[in-house]
Amino acid sequence: MLFTNESVFPYRHDIEILGVTIVDDLVLTRKNEGIWSSVLFFFDVINYIKKSKLFIEDDNFILLDTDVLAIKGCNILFDYIDLHNCNLAYSIGIYDEDFLFHNKKISNLNALSEVFFGESNSNKIKTLIGGEFFGFKKANLTDILRISDYFLNYSDLTTEEQILSIINAQLNFCFFNNTIFRVWTSYKFYKVPKDNNYFFLHFPAEKKFGIFYLFESLKKLNNNDFLRYSNLVKKYIPFTNKFRLFLFRLYFKIKFDFLTNFKW
């Protein structure tokens, strides 16, 4: 499923042909400025799921950013949520209190947490949570929404990752090995997985080019052929030569700019 607050957007028909159900009647209730303008849409989506009669309390979900691609089926993760009755999250690491996390020190996040939970009941943040992957059962959203609603209304926090990190310190999310890998493919910062043992691959540096290229290729496949799709994504990843990748992205940028700016 694709959750969006826009009913008209490029490739909508192509996406639906691939078998994706689009829910487009959501509202972006808290818009930030700049590159973080829509990150709090995460909470609009889970709030919609909680209130919607389309889903039952026992339904499981995995919420992904639009620049995340799946290369494995998710049944193992859904079974894990059922077995442990927990929320699955993505840990991006453990840092000290002076670490600046989206323009807020972790010590500042802990101070905000103490205001809400009380100093004696508030747990310190030990693990930072990434927002590109989150697995949950609808029935378990009540506490998450109660806590997030407070920080959305009574704090100046700007990202879902800050709020999820505070919530995790209190509710203790579960972590499943090799759920997601952040793939960095810029020429200066290059980090790709050494194997294909992950369920999801996140492409923060490929929002304009790589994702577009993969989607164009995906449209040519049978929408039920997940194996071929998975292999397509894997084929795109193992650029061990940075210069080769740089030339590929440069070529694709020139092609993309030409097609979007050319006057017929």
* Domain CATH code at residue 97: 3.90.550
State mean pLDDT over 197-213: 81
For 243, the domain range is: 1-264
pLDDT category of residue 175 using cuts at 50, 70 and 90: very high
pLDDT of residue 30: 85
pLDDT of residue 263: 42
> What three-state secondary structure class fits 137?
strand
Q: Is 10 a residue whose pLDDT tops 90?
A: no
Query: Which amino acid type is present at position 117?
Result: F
Number of domains in the chain: 1
The conformation of residue 155, written as its DSSP 8-state character, comes to S
Q: Is 100 a residue whose pLDDT tops 70?
A: yes
The mean pLDDT value of the chain amounts to: 84
3-state per-residue secondary structure call for 83-127: HHCCCEEEEEECCCCCCEECCEEHHHHHHHHHHHHCCCCCCCCCC
Q: Is 171 a residue whose pLDDT tops 90?
A: yes
CB 109 within 8 A of CB 101: yes
pTM of the model: 0.84
Mind listing the pLDDT tens digit for each residue in 24-72? 999 889 887 766 678 899 999 999 999 999 999 999 999 999 889 888 8
Strands (E), 161-263: 180-182, 184-185, 190-191, 200-202
CB 232 within 8 A of CB 218: yes
